[in-house]
Structure 1
């Protein structure tokens, strides 16, 4: 827990925290900064009025177009959950198929578990993920043209969207910055949202890889809805509201076994 000495310091630290995690609820921030929820709400109002963040019911998020602090920092958030989600998702990908792999730290966790697959054709919107995949002998990797975002290697722009629209892949593996209570899938970058929207439309079966912390949070750009998802891979922390939202939208839910990952680390 942190203890900010005054409101300006605390607001600055709240902003930095949001740049690290993307979004947070009032209760999470109150616990982190050892302040009352009322104090945190005032801080968020001040930051929102200064056009530094956007508010959603019960919390706040980065403004659209704001880049996360860094890919490496995001990778450490819910790392164990992401690892178990990645392994579970990879086990559901057969050999000799085509996939579109969306950029992100949760989808990245799938990659180590694809090493022994063969006959895969992989399209990805990330030069970072493509660089990891190119070392696997059983895979053919394709990336679109476009503008590369320096912070994390995501390929953006209309050229990327048009490239992805040419495909009809067997599977899409997508992530999300946040999932609203009404099932909206959210992000922070309009250009990235356009690419992810194209990925969802270009696949016969769509997997969403998202740890339970994503549910109930907000972000300013909507790229889809749970009703477009066939299968959600998440962790054991998924609560009743999250599971009910999936059931309402006909989403198959797979709970990744984190105990298996912990056992593998101890072995």
Structure 2
């Protein structure tokens, strides 16, 4: 019963964050009506979200946090955001991983969601600098007993070394050297922010360099990012939009943003919406 209660709390807080971000703020009495819960429940949720740094409490309600370009939320804080969008994106991106291919996954909560869908793709070789993503594959292997070659859901995971970030990614010279020595069929890349001017960016300088190494080592770059990442600019850019082959996002992305992205170069895949005829959604296969 405790687990169900926690799940409901997570879902409720995700809805509160979505409302605050969409409207630029929300009042307690509005949230109680929208969620059909008590005033005290909403206030507890706001307290919890404020402690995570996900929003700022004000008299009578809450407003979005005005993030500096160097602000880097932790994994737990980000994992509560846009849950349904991330799940849609993960499901759409997973079909782009071909059995037997070598793939890389960067850190992030969207790539974490994607990793759980990739368990169904057989014979993958997975390289990741995300502790959380690696745990998904390692846990699946332990629960299934001995790893059998060719068994769906199994994978070889190479976890690069380095310095751990607030997002539980490993970055720095050790990670960079490991990534540069490898070659991937496809990179699934999570990002802090996307814009036409700044391209892909992150608030962490070391993570920016590690992500550059990932991009340079991949034959195909697939960015997985929900609509709230559009227009966000972190301290350091690490790739331009024309270096992205495919952007997988959700239906919340505004039409103006879609047009700007398509003017650049990437194939745009909006999770839950049909792709245009003639698009190629699968990467070429091959080993490391």
TM-score bucket (shorter structure): 0.7 to 0.9
Instruction: State the partner residue of 1:262.
Output: none
Q: Given that residues 183 and 245 in structure 1 are in contact (C-alpha distance below 8 angstroms), is that contact kept between their aligned partners in structure 2?
A: no
SS of 1:232 mapped into structure 2: strand
Q: Given that residues 102 and 126 in structure 1 are in contact (C-alpha distance below 8 angstroms), is that contact kept between their aligned partners in structure 2?
A: yes
Q: Given that residues 18 and 62 in structure 1 are in contact (C-alpha distance below 8 angstroms), is that contact kept between their aligned partners in structure 2?
A: no
1:213 to 228, 237, 250: 228
Instruction: State the partner residue of 1:99.
Output: 103
Query: Compared with structure 1, are the counterparts of its residues 188 and 18 closer, same or farther at alpha carbon in structure 2 (3 Å cutoff)?
Result: farther
For the pair 1:140 / 2:145, whether they are aligned, the reply is no
Aligned residues: 215
Q: CA deviation at 1:186?
A: 1.3
TM-score when normalising by structure 1 = 0.73
Q: CA deviation at 1:182?
A: 2.5
Q: Distance in 2 between matches of 1:188 and 1:17?
A: 20
Instruction: State the partner residue of 2:90.
Output: 86
SS of 1:61 mapped into structure 2: coil
Q: Distance in 2 between matches of 1:112 and 1:189?
A: 26
Q: Given that residues 98 and 170 in structure 1 are in contact (C-alpha distance below 8 angstroms), is that contact kept between their aligned partners in structure 2?
A: yes
Q: CA deviation at 1:171?
A: 0.2
**1:180-259 paired onto structure 2 within 5 Å:** 180-182=195-197, 184-257=199-272
Render the CA deviation track for 1:73-131: whole Å, top value 9, x for unaligned: 21111110000100110111110000010000011111111112111111001122111
Query: Compared with structure 1, are the counterparts of its residues 236 and 183 closer, same or farther at alpha carbon in structure 2 (3 Å cutoff)?
Result: farther
Instruction: State the partner residue of 1:20.
Output: 54
Q: Given that residues 52 and 77 in structure 2 are in contact (C-alpha distance below 8 angstroms), is that contact kept between their aligned partners in structure 1?
A: no
1:67 to 34, 57, 72: 72
SS of 1:201 mapped into structure 2: helix
For the pair 1:153 / 2:168, whether they are aligned, the reply is yes
Q: Given that residues 75 and 168 in structure 2 are in contact (C-alpha distance below 8 angstroms), is that contact kept between their aligned partners in structure 1?
A: no
Deviates more, 1:242-251 or 1:72-81: 242-251
Instruction: State the partner residue of 1:126.
Output: 130
TM-score when normalising by structure 2 = 0.68
Q: CA deviation at 1:2?
A: 4.8
List gaps (5 residues or longer) in structure 2. 1-25, 29-46, 142-146, 148-153, 274-288
Instruction: State the partner residue of 1:108.
Output: 112
SS of 1:109 mapped into structure 2: helix
Q: Distance in 2 between matches of 1:186 and 1:18?
A: 22
SS of 2:126 mapped into structure 1: strand
